[in-house]
A and B are shown apart, each in its own frame.
Chain A
Amino acid sequence: MLKFFTSLKKRIRLFSKFNKHIDTIFLDTICDNFHTDNSVNIILSPSLYWIKKIILPVKSAKEAKPLLASIFEDTLPDGAYSYSVYKNDDDFLAFAYEDKKILELLEQKGIKQTQINNIYFSQNEFSDITKAMKINETQSIFVKDGIVVLLPCCWIKEHGYLNLDSINLSKKYINIRQYSHLVDEKSLYMITILSVIFTIFVASEYFISIQNISNLTDKKDEIFQKYSLKPTMMQNNAMLKGYEKINKQQTNLRVDIASVLSLNLPSEVKLTLLKSTNKKLIVHFNSVDKNSQLKIKQQLKKKNLIFSSNLKNGILEMEFRL
């Protein structure tokens, strides 16, 4: 992840270098506002960082970096510091700086964050100056024991002036992080990684869900083909309703016939007609008197059948609705 950001950042920087004119400015708490719309390389005044020249039992700056917080622990006032370290012959030059403080100062001086190209330490850019260089009306920078320091102008009689137009900047620049005072870099990357993992999880869940929808749609289409269904469910439901109606009528027909045939009839009563048409079943019994009619009706009512009956000349006409 770190490599990705760094690579992306380098590419963007390279791209912007080809497209924009880049000014170089010297940033100090005592300096005039800058009036430029161009990108800027910023050289930090010694007043904006802490420096220590130290000998460490490690070989590279990378190995030294994790030790910086403890190295500066007793020196720095309260604040949220970022650290940087460069190897310098046999020793190391360790830097501590406050991202928020630098960004706020840049904003005060009229430099937007989007204008910032790279940020450098005076230590790395002016370590080879041979005499004091005036940076404003009251202050100069000067190299003492290999360290670039800030001095009042009145302390030194001879001084030159900084010429930033012709300066060849080193490759030792730093990245200022806007929210470093809120969250440290490690946590930031951890949060990023967790967020990415969560997003991948959520995204895969989404794509699985989409895939399931697609599969189910295919299966649904297969059902239509397999069972030769009509194109719309409205048509199919109507068709099913029709079949259910037929099924109900056929079931009722069978139940009614079974009930009629299982009647306990008086010996003189005979079934003479069994006719089904137009959603009804008509049944005739002959030699039926009032008493027999009552018995037949009672038996059918016990079976919860809905019917009408009419006794005429000894013939009992019964009608069942299917």
Chain B
Amino acid sequence: MNRINPLHIIAFIVVLSMFFTFKISQSKDELQELKLEYKKTLSVATKIDEFKKSYKNKNLVKKRLNKILNNSILRKSEIKKEVKNSKIILIASEIDKASLNYLMSKLLNKTFNITKLDIKKIDTQKASLKLEIKW
């Protein structure tokens, strides 16, 4: 006698396929969720990375700043540079108009995290400067 009825096997297969169908719908939901999570993580990661490079990269900040300060226009202004653990302070007791324009245009056009700025007019041609950049 045919003890294993083909219909029982069909029923078993149908149950099995229902099980897999259910698992597929679960895993597809999970996959969809994971895809969104992945995109979000990637977006957060790239943004953080960009911000880190822009504002938090100590070496890059120093390198870019030195490049600006080494320009011949600024040499005569005697800008003092104080480097601390997480910041750099630029001080110039007297800076002429052209140097100040050059310095500020360079600093403001790059992504420095300028936390303090103090420019006081001394006379029509000169000003004092104190500027703090953090990383």
Question: Is the beta-carbon distance between B48 and A246 smaller than 8 angstroms?
Answer: no
Judged by DSSP, the binding face of B is helix
Question: Is the beta-carbon distance between B20 and A250 smaller than 8 angstroms?
Answer: no
> In the docked arrangement, what's the CA distance between A273 and B121, Å?
6
| Chain B, Cβ-Cβ closest to A182 | B7
* Chain B neighbourhood of A196, CB < 8 A: 13
| Chain A, Cβ-Cβ closest to B100 | A274
Question: Is the beta-carbon distance between B3 and A9 smaller than 8 angstroms?
Answer: yes
Footprint of B on A, CB under 8 Å? 5, 8-9, 12-13, 113-114, 116-119, 175-179, 188-189, 191-192, 195-196, 198-199, 202-203, 205-206, 209-210, 212-213, 216-217, 219-220, 223-224, 226-227, 229, 233, 236-237, 239-240, 243-244, 246-247, 250, 253-254, 257-258, 270-277, 281
Would A220 and B41 be within 8 Å (CB), given that A213-B30, A275-B119, A276-B116 are in contact? Answer: yes
> In the docked arrangement, what's the CA distance between A13 and B2, Å?
9
Question: Is the beta-carbon distance between A273 and B120 smaller than 8 angstroms?
Answer: yes
> In the docked arrangement, what's the CA distance between A239 and B47, Å?
10
> In the docked arrangement, what's the CA distance between A176 and B6, Å?
12
Question: Is the beta-carbon distance between A213 and B17 smaller than 8 angstroms?
Answer: no
* Chain A neighbourhood of B40, CB < 8 A: 233
B58 CB, min distance to chain A CBs, angstroms: 15
| Chain B, Cβ-Cβ closest to A106 | B1
* Chain B neighbourhood of A189, CB < 8 A: 6
Question: Is the beta-carbon distance between B119 and A246 smaller than 8 angstroms?
Answer: no
Interface residues in B110-131 by Cβ distance below 8 A to A read: 111-121, 124
Question: Is the beta-carbon distance between A240 and B47 smaller than 8 angstroms?
Answer: yes
14 A-B pairs (CB sep. < 8 Å): A5-B4, A12-B3, A178-B7, A179-B5, A188-B7, A188-B10, A198-B17, A213-B30, A216-B31, A224-B41, A247-B55, A273-B120, A276-B114, A277-B117
Q: Interface digits, B26-38 against A, CB 8 Å rule (1 contact, 0 not)?
A: 0110110011011
* Chain A neighbourhood of B44, CB < 8 A: 229, 233, 236-237, 240
